[in-house]
């Protein structure tokens, strides 16, 4: 599901640097198996996504930000309402839905099931995988074409500059995908908490996104080196 999105980023930059420059040094010293986002815990990830300006226009980040803002407003409204009721010496009986997460859910609201939320995350991650696989394939094709032009003398650019160009493009694409994937996971994780569902689907998704990265990176790098 998620496992092949991230690995291709590392493969892309590794392939360009190793294949074009012939320097395997980059494989272990420049292209680390985990990005900066991979090393953060869920709370740190969400905070970075919500406060980093360059991510704010990404759809999954925008949805996460709106979700968090709505929750804050609901919590504030509930607190004000409770204070008012206390002052008026009034007592009310909550409906079952109102008891979820401190009355954060409106009584008339349709509550999604745990399975529906898990399915929503699965479909989102599949869509992101397809989108970024296409972008990476295009980037990889461009890198290969430029490399061949340099080798045939059609293009006058140093191998180093070419390597740096695609290294930066690959890293930027990885960073964007990281933000969208982790925001999508955080959104569903927050929804699970909101409806008081116990689920490890978010944690499993994050781990799946990270754990097989190195293995997949090596597989794709080997395949690309054979092609070039």
Q: Are 84 and 91 in contact (CB under 8 A)?
A: no
Length of the chain: 228
Q: Are 182 and 205 in contact (CB under 8 A)?
A: no
Q: Are 77 and 167 in contact (CB under 8 A)?
A: no
C-alpha to C-alpha distance for 112 and 174, rounded to whole angstroms: 31
Render pLDDT for 193-214 as a digit per residue (tens, 0 to 9).
999 999 999 999 999 888 766 6
Render pLDDT for 56-109 as a digit per residue (tens, 0 to 9).
999 999 999 999 999 999 877 776 776 666 666 555 554 445 445 454 666 567
> Burial of 186 by CB count in 10 Å (0-12 exposed, 13-18 middle, 19+ buried)?
buried
Instruction: Give the number of other Cβ atoms within 10 Å of residue 115's Cβ.
Output: 10
- pTM of full prediction above 0.85: no
CA gyration radius for the chain? Answer: 23
Angle, CA of 123, 183 and 214, to the nearest 5°: 80
Highest-scoring range by mean pLDDT, 14-28, 154-168, 207-221: 154-168
% of the chain at pLDDT higher than 90: 40
Among 132, 172, 165, 170, CA closest to 147: 165
More confident residue, 150 or 77: 150
């Amino acid at each position: 599901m998620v496992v092949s999105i991230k690995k291709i980023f590392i493969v892309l930059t590794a392939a360009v640097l190793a294949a074009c420059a012939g320097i395997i040094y980059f494989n272990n010293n420049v292209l680390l198996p985990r990005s900066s986002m991979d090393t953060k815990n869920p709370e740190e990830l969400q905070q970075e996504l919500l406060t980093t300006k360059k991510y704010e226009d990404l759809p999954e980040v925008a949805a996460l930000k709106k979700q968090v803002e709505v929750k804050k407003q609901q919590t504030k409204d509930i607190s004000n309402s409770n204070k008012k009721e206390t002052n008026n010496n009034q007592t009310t009986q909550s409906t079952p839905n109102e008891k979820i997460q401190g009355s954060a859910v409106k009584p008339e609201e349709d509550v999604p099931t745990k399975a529906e939320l898990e399915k929503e995350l699965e479909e989102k991650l599949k869509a992101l995988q397809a989108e970024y696989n296409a972008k990476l394939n295009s980037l990889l094709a461009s890198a290969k074409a430029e490399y061949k032009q340099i080798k045939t003398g059609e293009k006058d650019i140093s191998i180093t500059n070419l390597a740096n160009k695609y290294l930066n493009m690959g890293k930027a694409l990885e960073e964007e995908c990281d933000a969208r994937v982790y925001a999508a996971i955080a959104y569903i994780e927050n929804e699970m908490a909101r409806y008081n569902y116990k689920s490890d689907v978010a944690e499993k998704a994050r781990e799946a996104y990270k754990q097989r990265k190195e293995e997949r990176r090596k597989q794709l790098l080997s395949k690309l080196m054979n092609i070039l």
